[in-house]
Amino acid sequence: MFDDLVAYFYENVVASYNAFSGALKNNVSGMSKDLRAAINSATALYHFREHIPRIHQKTRKELAKKCPDYDLLGDIVNAAKHRALTRGNPQVSSANDIFEQVVFTKYRDEEGEYFSSEKTVLVKLKDNSDRNMQEILTNVLTMWF
């Protein structure tokens, strides 16, 4: 499929991450485009471990020690695939906990009123906190470097 591990990393993992980052920057929302790009990137980042030669491969637990968001990413990918997680102690309960959000901000200064909007994909954790998907993906991508 890809020439080698480095090609796979850049042509699949990094390309998926860049596609998600690009989707967030455009001003188009709807049809779950950002969510789909986020899940595609998450899947590529999480499963990259399986493409590393066995002699150098680390377990999910070992990688989570290096980057705790890798463990969270595994739960996100599994929730997206299976809809609901019922085994173990995942940080995410279901695919419904992964969602798009658009934030509109209105602010005013001495020159007038301004508006801005920002798209994001959030993950609702079992502890009821929200995590920004781009932050999670960036942390895991950085781990692979």
Residue 114 lies in domain: 5-144
HEC letters along the chain = CCCCHHHHHHHHHHHHHHHHHHHHHCCCCCCCHHHHHHHHHHHHHHHHHHHCCHHHCCCHHHHHHHCHHHHHHHHHHHHHHHCECCCCCCCCCEHHHEEEEEEEEEEEECCEEEEEEEEEEEEECCCCCEEEHHHHHHHHHHHHC
The 10s digit of each residue's pLDDT in 1-54 is 567 999 999 999 999 999 999 999 998 888 999 999 999 999 999 999 999 999
- State the total domains in the chain: 1
pTM for the full predicted model: 0.91
